[in-house]
Amino acid sequence: MSISRDRIVEVVKLYGEAWTQQNTSILPSIFSKDAIYIERAYDKNATFKGLKAIEDYWNYQIVGKQSNIQFRHVESEMVRDIDKPIAVVKWLAEFDNRRENRVGESSDKTYKRVRYVHYLIL
């Protein structure tokens, strides 16, 4: 069974709202209790299993370290499988990230502006 385009757009919109508003109470509307959230595929410590682990990560990273968040879903580049519940979405994100463990760096390097293009498989 496929996922409707409208549902995918709705979930990505909720994700963007949760992120930009730093609101973890939205996460249960996005992730199931047994969801797996892979922040960085190349980093085994950046995989979070279950809604509670995802919420804990968001509280630490998103709420605890990020500010001035901008998020834009690039809807025109979404790819959806019509036979399976799989879609690939793209968004642009930009935010200030508080960096930790920066011994010897001046205070003006405590925050770093991060910009990236992110592809996500739903």
- C-beta atoms surrounding 108 within 10 Å: 6
74 by DSSP, 3-state: which?
coil
pLDDT, residue 16, reads: 95
Domains annotated for the chain, with CATH where assigned, are 5-121 (3.10.450.50)
The pLDDT profile of the chain, 122 residues, written as one tens digit per residue, is 678 889 889 999 999 999 999 999 999 999 999 999 988 888 889 999 999 999 999 999 999 999 999 999 999 988 888 888 888 899 999 999 988 765 555 555 678 889 988 887 77
For residues 30 and 11, is the Cβ–Cβ distance under 8 A? yes
For residues 54 and 30, is the Cβ–Cβ distance under 8 A? no
CB neighbour list of residue 122: distance below 8 Å, 6 or more residues apart? 3, 8, 11, 85, 86, 87, 88, 89
